[in-house]
Amino acid sequence: MNHRLPIPNPIRVALLAALIFFLSCRGVAFASVSIADEIEMGRKFDETIHAQMAFVEDPEVIFYVTGVVDRVASALPPQAYPIRSAVVANNSMNAFAIPGGYIYIFTGLILGVESEDQLAAVIGHELGHVTERHVAKRMEQMKYLNIASLTGMVAGVLLGASGAGGNIANLGGALTLGSAAGAQSAFLMYTRENEREADHVGLNYLVKSGYNPNAMPQTFEIMNKKSWFMSGDNIPSYLSTHPGLDERIVYLRDRIKHMPADVLTRDFKRDRFQRVQTILRARMVSPETALAYWDSKPQTQLTCLDQAGRGIVLDRLKRQQQAEQAFAKALGCGPDDPLVLREAGIFYFNQGNANKAAPLLQKAAILNPRDAMSMFFTARIMAERKDYAGAISLMERVAREVPKDSEVRYHLGRIKGESGDIFGAHIQLSYSSHFGRDKQKARFHLDKARSLAQTDAQKRQLEELERTISGPGEDKKNNGKAEGAKLNRMRLFR
């Protein structure tokens, strides 16, 4: 997958289509919003957001963020739905939650805060909005919703993506401008009362889950400072939908000063947090900015993973010789670090040096059996060496880890085809096209697979594929032109 930020097409039409579909199913009158309504809205919004926004799929990042979210969520009272998290590949300093227990963490937030506690503080606050049902209550207050107000609702949810520039950062801004004329368009902007309540319960969740409560006002102070000294995309877009930070900081500090000393002195090792920051900085930040960050530090202070991060950035800048030198330093001091091994292996794979890449990737996969990326590239090397049985087995494991990744499915289909399994190749290529939002190709490969299905097992695979393609997540407006949709994804496996 490609780690660069995509440049998506505007999505207002797609969002409106989703909203119209939602209205056609549910109607527009809401005397009250039930938990079932929230779950359904959350599901539909999640489908739309995943169809149009770029998401990170790196296991190193996903498992870490999921762990932090789950830890905070463990402090919540019993909920009628699970808390689901995802990482948005966008450098805005933002996070948002939607009805039904969905929470989205932007990579810019992970890079903008200084510790896991601070990341957990934002998560706690957002989950406070969820548990207090602030969105549902605002909808109930409106009693009647129309297309314009629902557009405003989605704009409010996605406002965190606003900002200047020609990428996904201007998404929320475009929607907000388009819906600002309606008086109801801001009805889901959180009120100061909502914010105070989310701060209150969010701080409780933060403390109960074992984090330092000081992290919440610290995070808000970081955002305030960024808004004072920065402009454009660097201003935390979190401020747009979460007003009144100054008075909330005062309130939080007043609450915290009465807490026990052992709570206020809690401290966590920052190793995992810094590892995730390093990989995101190398992948997500402009290569010039990321390189300047590492070059500004004394070389003696750079960790093994820092050297690997420099290697990734130098590779992005097409400075392969310097990149190889950086990876050599990283491997020299971190020969047993699975992330260093993985990134060095990927580098050598992309340089066409499978002999150097293979042992690094294999060792990385042994040290971190859940790292789908190491397995992905190892499977590709095995296929190049004509070990089709081993390559298929390993790539199928990768597909179980990231079942909706179109490129994983594409390579699995290619390997199956090369091995002689033409039916299996068309099945996987149909999945690949479906998850890549190319309806026409998905149907083409489905028809080919249908014509080849003979055994009961093949017919069951075909039925499962048909259910996936015809399921509720299908983009009814997809015209079969996948190129724009491909640009809207954060493609991870290269």
In this structure, the number of other CB atoms found within 10 A of the CB of residue 386 comes to 11
Q: What does CATH list as the number for 287-487? A: 1.25.40.10
- pTM of this prediction? 0.80
Assign 356 to helix, strand or coil: helix
The confidence score (pLDDT) of residue 233 equals 46
The confidence score (pLDDT) of residue 244 equals 67
Average pLDDT by stretches of 10, the chain with 494 residues = 39 41 44 76 80 85 95 94 92 85 93 95 93 76 51 47 37 33 45 86 96 94 70 47 73 94 87 94 95 93 95 97 97 96 97 97 94 96 97 96 92 98 98 92 97 96 94 45 35 47
The confidence score (pLDDT) of residue 224 equals 82
- Cα maximum dimension of the chain: 71
The closest of 465, 470, 426 to 444, measured between CA atoms, is 426
* HEC secondary structure over 31-87: CCCCHHHHHHHHHHHHHHHHHHCCECCCHHHHHHHHHHHHHHHCCCCCCCCCCEEEE
Tokens of 21: 């579909």
The confidence score (pLDDT) of residue 478 equals 40
Amino acid at residue number 337: D
Spell out the residues 6+ positions from residue 445 whose beta carbon is closer than 8 angstroms to its own: 426, 427, 429, 430, 433
Domain chopping of the chain, boundaries: 12-264, 287-487
